Amino acid sequence: MGYYINLENISINNYKEILKSADLLPSRMILKDNIDKNFDLIKKQNVRNIDELMKILKNKKKLQDFSKQIGLNEDYLTILIREIKSYHQNPNKIKDFPIITNDVILKFENIGIKNTLQLFDRVLTAEDRKGISNQIGIDESTVLKLTKLTDLSRIRWVNHTFAYVLFEAKYDTTEKVANADYKDLYKTVKRLNEERKIYKGHIGLHDMKLCVEAAKDVSLEIEY
């Protein structure tokens, strides 16, 4: 499947059902309003999947034109495209992870790897990781650490700081997060941050539930 979820594989009908049962952010609960009627309007334009829909709504002008064309509220479409784009969030930069030294960052940058998307295909197997370790002259444990941070970065809404937090909390792979009890994960992360003051913001119980659910969408392609 690759770093990102293949949006071509999510049909408009399937995505409608996903949204119906999804525990959405409060600001996106509007997507559930009149959802059958709204998605019928989209389907009538021969939009087969959410990859096609994302391309149709890729900028404000196209979104406004589509809104007028099908008679669907522009605000609804704006929130809908934000939700879809969350599947393809920006990759995390290697230099932003606090446990990666400047020497390691520079060695990866010298071979054109600056972020988790660029690293992903190079670390899928133990053999791959050994190869890149030998190529740039860093130990395999560091490559494995970055592999796990890359894996966690594929989860929606997980930025470089939260990927590091999950790693330090011993939920260091997407599979571990997907299989976690979100209440236990919340307690572990909360306790870790109280002890080490890693981040200043607030990650609530509901946020942790969304994280665990999002992890279930990620394909398990990295071999450990």
As a three-state string, the secondary structure of 122-145 is CCCCHHHHHHHHHHHCCCHHHHHH
Specify the pTM.
Answer: 0.88
Residue 71 has pLDDT above 90, yes or no: yes
Tokens 């920006």 found at: 90
- Average pLDDT of the chain is 95
Per-residue confidence (pLDDT) for residue 56, from 0 to 100: 95
Q: String of b and e for 126-142 (b: at least 16 CB within 10 Å)?
A: eebbeebbeebebeeeb
Give me the count of residues in the chain: 224
pLDDT digits (tens, 9 = 90+) for 201-211: 888 898 899 89
Return the percentage of the chain with pLDDT > 70, whole number.
100
Mean pLDDT of 106-122: 97
Per-residue confidence (pLDDT) for residue 34, from 0 to 100: 95
Alpha carbon distance 122, 96 (integer Å): 19
Per-residue confidence (pLDDT) for residue 202, from 0 to 100: 85
Domain residue limits, the chain: 7-88, 94-215
pLDDT digits (tens, 9 = 90+) for 4-35: 988 999 999 999 999 998 888 889 999 999 99
Mean pLDDT of 152-173: 96
Alpha carbon distance 156, 219 (integer Å): 13
pLDDT digits (tens, 9 = 90+) for 41-67: 999 999 999 999 999 999 999 999 999
Alpha carbon distance 111, 162 (integer Å): 26
Tokens 């929130």 found at: 79
Q: CA 73, 217, 187: angle at the middle one, nearest 5?
A: 100
CA nearest to 2, candidates 159, 120, 143, 128? 120
CA nearest to 80, candidates 113, 136, 42, 112? 42
Would you say 24 and 32 are in contact if contact means Cβ atoms under 8 Å apart?
yes
Name the pLDDT band for 212 (thresholds 50, 70, 90): very high
